[in-house]
């Protein structure tokens, strides 16, 4: 299983490098800031009443506020102790695996994020996952 996880991490890393080198399209003109990512992607898609809000904090994760969501994502871990967001390393960030459905259930489950939104989150992480 560990070998499989390493191979998938390498593949995600390679995919990210390819995106970073040749990305074009919808995500280019959007800022890679936490305030933008939180307000336009995370809160409307993840902080719903049935997922990661004050009403239902699935897995103990609340993403319904910019500050609280940042602290929980950047400081948080999965049930098996892996970091949700590793600043500067999207291929090591479990959030990316969750959004893409790699080795786990894809999130959000009912309406997965568009590729451009996932790429923007990956770029925010690659840029250091700062809280602006």
Does residue 94 contact residue 82 with C-beta atoms inside 8 Å? yes
> Which residues are registered as beta bridge partners of 57?
52
Does residue 121 contact residue 33 with C-beta atoms inside 8 Å? no
pLDDT in tens, 43-98: 999 998 789 988 888 888 999 989 999 999 999 888 888 999 999 999 999 999 99
Instruction: Specify the pTM.
Output: 0.76
Q: Is 49 exposed, middle or buried (0-12, 13-18, 19+ CB in 10 A)?
A: exposed
Q: How far apart are alpha carbons 117 and 122 in whole angstroms?
A: 9
pLDDT in tens, 18-35: 444 444 444 468 999 999
Can you list the alpha helix ranges (DSSP code H) found in 23-114? 34-37, 43-46, 66-75, 94-100
């Amino acid at each position: 299983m560990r070998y499989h996880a390493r191979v998938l991490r390498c593949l995600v890393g390679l995919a990210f490098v390819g995106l970073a080198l040749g990305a074009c399209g919808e995500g280019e003109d959007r800022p890679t800031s936490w305030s933008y990512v939180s307000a336009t992607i995370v809160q409307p898609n993840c902080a719903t009443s049935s997922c990661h809000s004050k009403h239902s904090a699935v897995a103990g994760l609340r993403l319904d506020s910019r500050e609280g969501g940042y602290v929980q994502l950047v400081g948080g871990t999965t049930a098996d102790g892996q970091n949700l967001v590793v600043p500067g390393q999207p291929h090591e960030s479990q959030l990316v695996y969750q959004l893409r459905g790699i080795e786990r259930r894809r999130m959000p489950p009912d309406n997965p994020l568009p590729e451009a939104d996932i790429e923007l989150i990956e770029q925010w992480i690659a840029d250091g996952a700062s809280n602006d």
